[in-house]
Amino acid sequence: MNFRSKKNLSRTRRGMVLFEVMMALFIFTMVAFSLVMALNTSMDSAQKRNEIDAAMRGLDNQLTMLHSGRVNPIDKDLDKDSYGIAYHLTVEPENLKDQKGQQLAGMYHVTITAKWKSGREDEDRSIDELIYQP
């Protein structure tokens, strides 16, 4: 092997090392990008789950407050809570009959709906319950 062929081999090897480094950086970048996307997705999911959890707790609180007092037919918007969730309450008399076909008095169908904005989307959850007050 003469001096000239060693010089060409050295240049070829340097070019190959540069290519290997560029490929390694590309692969590292793709892996890092994938991890960032996975982290972003999990953070968005956690935030959405927290919003749903806050809405469900709010619905439960509204229902508990309704149980503490006298139930009357109503259809109204309730105040927003500290999370910015708006509630709507609907109480309607329920027309149920007993085994003899007589009307049961004091039965109410209650629907409470929670509405909020999650990013660009409107979200809502509802809870329905039959309440008996003699």
Q: d(Cα 122, Cα 100) in Å, to the nearest integer?
A: 46
Residue 76 pLDDT greater than 70, yes or no: yes
Percent of the chain at pLDDT > 70 equals 89
Give pLDDT tens digits for 19-62.
889 999 999 999 999 999 999 999 999 999 999 999 999 999 99
**Cβ burial 28-40 (10 Å sphere, 16+ → b, else e):** eeeeeeeeeeeee
Domain boundaries along the sequence of the chain: 3-132
Place of tokens 């007993």: 98
Please indicate whether residue 31 or residue 12 has the higher confidence score (pLDDT).
Answer: 31
Predicted confidence at residue 111, as pLDDT, reads 96
Q: d(Cα 110, Cα 94) in Å, to the nearest integer?
A: 9
> Nearest CA to 112 among 131, 133, 134?
131
Give pLDDT tens digits for 81-104.
988 999 999 999 998 888 888 888
